[in-house]
Each structure stands twice: as structure tokens, then as C-alpha cells.
Amino acid sequence: MDSEQLREYGHRMVDFIADYYKTIETFPVLSQVQPGYLHNLLPDSAPDQPETVEQVLDDVKTKILPGITHWQSPTFYAYYPSNSSVAGFLGEMLSAGLGIVGFSWVTSPAATELEMIVLDWLAKLLNLPEQFLSKGNGGGVIQGSASEAILVVMIGAREKVLRRVGKNALGKLVVYSSDQTHSALQKACQIAGIHPENCRVLKADSSTNYALRPELLQEAVSKDIEAGLIPFFLCGNVGTTSSTAVDPLAALGNIAKRNEIWFHVDAAYAGSACICPEYRQYIDGVETADSFNMNAHKWFLTNFDCSLLWVKDQYVLTEALSTNPEFLKNKASQANLVVDYKDWQIPLGRRFRLFKFLQEHLHIYNILRLCSCLYLNRSLKLWMVLRLYGAETLKSYIRNHIKLAKDLEQLVSQDPNFEVVTPRIFSLVCFRILPVDNDEKECNDRNRNLLDAVNSSGKLFLSHTALSGKIVLRCAIGAPLTEERHVKETWKVIQEEASRLLGK
């Protein structure tokens, strides 16, 4: 690799990607290949001799792209968006470039400080309480995913409560959430060793638009205390994955506080919208939370992965997650200005091994710098996004998607064959074909068929969920390229397929 080769190939790759974006609407949004398709197209073993970039890019065009589901397509509406952007792309590119020269580590102190600054910026945009800023005991850290963020705070909270009640009480710890909470919480419980019978999944239904009722939480907590159990962790939602339900944070948080329960707020998708003053109300009550997460890689123009986590007390994380606490505490206090982010997250094997390996070769300060540099990648691209777009552009970006969703909600509600199942709050519209003669089972089948039909048309990609036993289609608007015309055309495709299924 020399710099001229990088320049030449890099330009060609950028051209390739730019052309991809130019023609992205010509591909079926959901990949239509069958399992194992690639096996028949590629050789059985690696080439002995180097091939050219042209050969590889040719293969990407003819063999790989058919197996791609186009997440950046303007008519990708499944799950939640996973934004890519020019700024995010440039950030990724820069970090890849610095990664190649990375072992001089002169930019390492910048990596840690940049992450702290950028997360403070965003905390201010979200108007998070001061305690989440890095100037006191709190601060933000970039994780790979919301799942990691939730696990990390749960482990911190677990260690905190066990210090209070004694190490042997693990089997008594109880976790609370609504049944609309992301499965990431269940996974966190499994990994954190919470007894499966101590996971209270409280029912939320259409009467509250799938928000958790505080009375239900209070009741469950009281019952558990009476039974000698120890309530310790509550996960509240702002924008559930199924239907963007928003839990009443202040009421839940007060119950948590009274009972010394750690309160985490998961706003993985909807957090982005809360930088707009008119949507900030949805995280009102976040001041009662101990921790808060949102994914910049969903709806904030930052390429995957970039999941933001804020805590009021960073020491809860470092006490629980330091792999070598005494040793690191000593050195960190000597260095004084070093935040060692590796103690704010799950120690992954690769990182741990890297650490062990390098311990034998490098001075401790280099190791600390190396650990923090692993994060440069993510803070750089978020920094790029914030700088190249600015807060006002990001706000109009969010508002535009929400307006498009509002328009779609209107179109759906005007069609007598359809219903909007839960009121739209952000940019997700949950809808379905209405049952005929109250036949809910047939209705579910019909909605499943509608989903299959529109997705195999290749024109768009929706996903589904189940709400109170109803199969519901989810249209999450949030791809950077989505415009009004796409949403109108999408609705037409859905209506046509529905008419066909209804025999009209």
C-alpha cells in the first residue's frame, strides 16, 4: 500500500459508491436471493495471485449487490433506519486512514477528549440534565449498540446493589420493564445472571398506547419487596421498537428512586427527535434516570455503529467493569487527565487479548492510549456529522421525516380498508388492513400476505410487529434519501396489493 495507490483506488471506490447512490432506486429494496446463492457464484478457495480492483468491483456489481438489502434506499422502511451520510462516510474513511498509520498514537489523547466533548455537545442538544455532562461525575460514552449500553449499565447497577446488600443476593435481584421493551433487556438479564423468574415483564396495552402504567410497576415492586426480593433495575422506553410507545418517565423514575432501583431510559430510535424543542417533551422526566441511551446510527446521519450512552455516575461503570481495577486506578490517578473508556464498556475478547499482548511490549501509557484509540472511529464520525450539518440542519432533517410520516398516517386513515393501529408520534406509522366480519385470524393472515407481497415486489421494504395479537405493518420513515414522492408511491403500491388481496 502506498499513498498513490490509495489515491487512485480510493477515488475509484468513491466513484463506485457515488454511482451506487445515484442508481440505488433501480435495485429491489429487499434482496430477493435464495439462501446459499453466493456459494455457487464464488470460487471454493482464495486466489493465489493478486487480482485487480476492477475485477473485484465487477464481482461486487454482479454477485454481491444482488445479495444486498438496500438500507439506504429511499423506500426502505423496515425496522428502524440505519442512516449513512456523506459526513458519516467521511468520518469512517478518515478513521480507517488513521487506523493504518495508527501506531504512532499521537492522536490518541484527542480521541478520548473528542468523545467526551462530542457527547457533551449532544447532551446539550438533548437538554439532558447537567449530571450527565462530563464535568462532574457523569459523562457519555460511545458503545457499539444499545444492547451493549443496556448490559453495561445493568452490570454497573448490579455491582452497586450487591455492594449494598451483599454478594450472595444475586438470586434475589429483580428487573422491571414493560412487555414492549426491546429484547436487548432480556439478553442483558441473561448475561448479567439475573434469575429468569426475577424478570418482571409488565403488560402494556392499547389503553395507554403501550406505555407502562406506573401503578403496575409500584404493585410489582411492593409485592417483590414483601416476598424478600430486591428490586434493582428498571428500563423505561422512549420510542419502543414495535410502536414508538413512550413510558411516563417521571412517574416511573420516582418509584425507582423511592426503592433504590437503577432507572435506565432506552431512547435508541426516538432520542434523535428529542433535539427538536417540540419533541423534547418525550424525554421529560429523564432527570430521574440514572442512565440514558440513544443510537446515533439509527436516525442521526451517523453510519453504523455509534450508540450513545450517558450516565450520572461514571464510577458505577468503572467499579464494575475495570478488568484490573487496582492497577488501572493507580495509573489513571497518576495520569489524572486520562479517561479510560475501556472501563465503561464490556471488555470484548479481542480488546482484552490486545491489552494482554501489548502489556508485554509497551509502556503502560501507550496501552492506555491504545485502548482509548479504539473509540476514535466512532467519535470522529459523530463529530463530522455535527460539524458538517450543524444542529439546525439535523433538526429539519428529523422534522421532514416526521412530516412525511404524518402525511402517510393521513393517507392510511382515509382509506376504509385500513386502520392506523397506534397513534403516530415520531416517524413510524403502524397500520393494517381491517378485519372483514371481525375475523381477526383471517385479518392477520391477510396482513402477513400483504407484507410478503409488497416486499417481494422489490419496490419497498416494510417490517411487521404484533400488538395485542394483531399483526401490524410498520413503516418507519427515516432514510436520508426519502422524499414525499417516495411515500406517495409507496402508499399506492400498498393499496394496490391490498385491493388484490381483498379481491376488489
Ligand X SMILES: *Cc1c(COP(=O)(O)O)cnc(C)c1O
Q: Which positions touch ligand X (CB under 6 A)?
A: 80, 145-147, 182, 184, 239-241, 266, 268-269, 295, 307
Cβ atoms of 266 and 238 closer than 8 Å: yes
Distance from C-alpha of 283 to C-alpha of 367, rounded to nearest angstrom: 38
Smallest distance, Å, CB 186 to ligand X?
Answer: 11
Residue among 80 and 300 whose Cβ is closer to ligand X: 80
Smallest distance, Å, CB 270 to ligand X?
Answer: 8
Residue among 306 and 408 whose Cβ is closer to ligand X: 306
Closest CA to 235 of 159, 155, 164, 178: 178
Residue among 269 and 292 whose Cβ is closer to ligand X: 269
Smallest distance, Å, CB 239 to ligand X?
Answer: 6
CA distances from 350 to 103, 108, 245, 374, 395 (A): 17, 19, 37, 11, 37
Residue among 307 and 482 whose Cβ is closer to ligand X: 307
Distance from C-alpha of 480 to C-alpha of 417, rounded to nearest angstrom: 30
Residue among 240 and 303 whose Cβ is closer to ligand X: 240
Residue among 133 and 152 whose Cβ is closer to ligand X: 152
Residue among 303 and 322 whose Cβ is closer to ligand X: 303
Smallest distance, Å, CB 146 to ligand X?
Answer: 3
Smallest distance, Å, CB 266 to ligand X?
Answer: 5
SS3 376: helix
Smallest distance, Å, CB 478 to ligand X?
Answer: 11
* DSSP string covering 219-247: HHHHHHHHTT-EEEEEEEEBS-TTT--B-
Smallest distance, Å, CB 469 to ligand X?
Answer: 21
Closest CA to 227 of 216, 215, 219: 219
SS3 199: strand
b/e code 279-306 from CB counts within 10 Å (16+ = b): beebbebbebbbbbbbbbbbbbbbbbbb
Beta-bridged to residue 265, according to DSSP, are 236, 292
Residue among 239 and 478 whose Cβ is closer to ligand X: 239
Distance from C-alpha of 358 to C-alpha of 368, rounded to nearest angstrom: 10
Smallest distance, Å, CB 415 to ligand X?
Answer: 28
SS3 360: coil
Q: How far is CA 432 from the centre of its chain?
A: 26
Cβ atoms of 155 and 192 closer than 8 Å: yes
Residue among 189 and 268 whose Cβ is closer to ligand X: 268
What is the 8-class DSSP label of residue 62?
Answer: I
Distance from C-alpha of 160 to C-alpha of 163, rounded to nearest angstrom: 5
Smallest distance, Å, CB 33 to ligand X?
Answer: 24
